[in-house]
A = this chain, B = another copy of it.
Amino acid sequence: MKLPCPITGPKPYHHGDLRRALLEAASRVLEREGPNALSLRAVAREAGVSPAAPYHHFKDKSELMLAISEEGFDQLYKFMLQSSDADAPPMERVAAIGVAYVEFAKAHPSIYRVMYDCSRDLESLPDKAHKAEDGAFSLLKKAMIDLGVVSSDQEVDLELACIAAWCAAHGLAEMVGFRQFDSLKAKMGGEKAFLAGVLSHLGMFGQARKRG
């Protein structure tokens, strides 16, 4: 006999929202043991259910990963939002978004990896897989419009500029993730200076920084 949690509301069946519990268990496994240890069985174990239980909530492993990915992009969006002061000048806002992106990837490397690994695997359902990014992407788009590098009526160019910015941030996030650049960082006096230095060479981020 399980009484429904008063916070999360009246929960349906046996477990009481196993789906949610699985996602949280997955998150714990990821932080504790890294992305290579993320197996369906490990997640089920962590949640205290049988290995087959997740199949009533996710079609297969890749759907679990997709759900984790969606949560990740949601967190990324929120982090970007809170990192870019809406009252700040557009140039600084764009730069802040870029830095926030890289910082997020560095702070949650396992989740970040899942976010893109499942993008790679799910060529089958591109719609669902990529809708997760939309929040973060449109945040960037707004800042780019305000920046005025591209005129907002030139839809195509705006889109291109945003894609370029996304590419730059993603590339940098991955590089920083699996290379150290230790000696270079030391020469520059810290990682922050290093990141800013690289960004200053990257298109719209560079323009954003030349102002300061």
At the interface, yes or no: A8 with Cβ under 8 Å from chain B?
no
Interface contact A175-B170, CB-CB below 8 Å: yes
Interface contact A198-B163, CB-CB below 8 Å: yes
Per assembly, the copies of the chain total 2
A188 to chain B: which residues have CB within 8 Å? 156
Given A156-B184, A167-B171, A170-B175, also A121-B203 (CB < 8 A): no
At the interface, yes or no: A65 with Cβ under 8 Å from chain B?
no
The residues in A between 95 and 142 inclusive whose CB is less than 8 angstroms from any CB of B are: 113, 116, 119-121, 123, 126, 130
Q: How far is the CA of A178 from the CA of B124 in the complex (A)?
A: 10
- Total chain A interface residues with beta-carbon distance under 8 A: 44
Q: Which of A121, A126, A198 has the most CB of B within 10 A?
A: A198
At the interface, yes or no: A71 with Cβ under 8 Å from chain B?
no
At the interface, yes or no: A26 with Cβ under 8 Å from chain B?
no
Contacts A123-B178, A171-B172 supplied; 15 other A-B pairs, CB < 8 Å: A36-B121, A113-B120, A157-B197, A160-B184, A160-B198, A160-B201, A164-B199, A165-B201, A166-B175, A167-B198, A167-B202, A168-B202, A201-B203, A202-B202, A203-B206
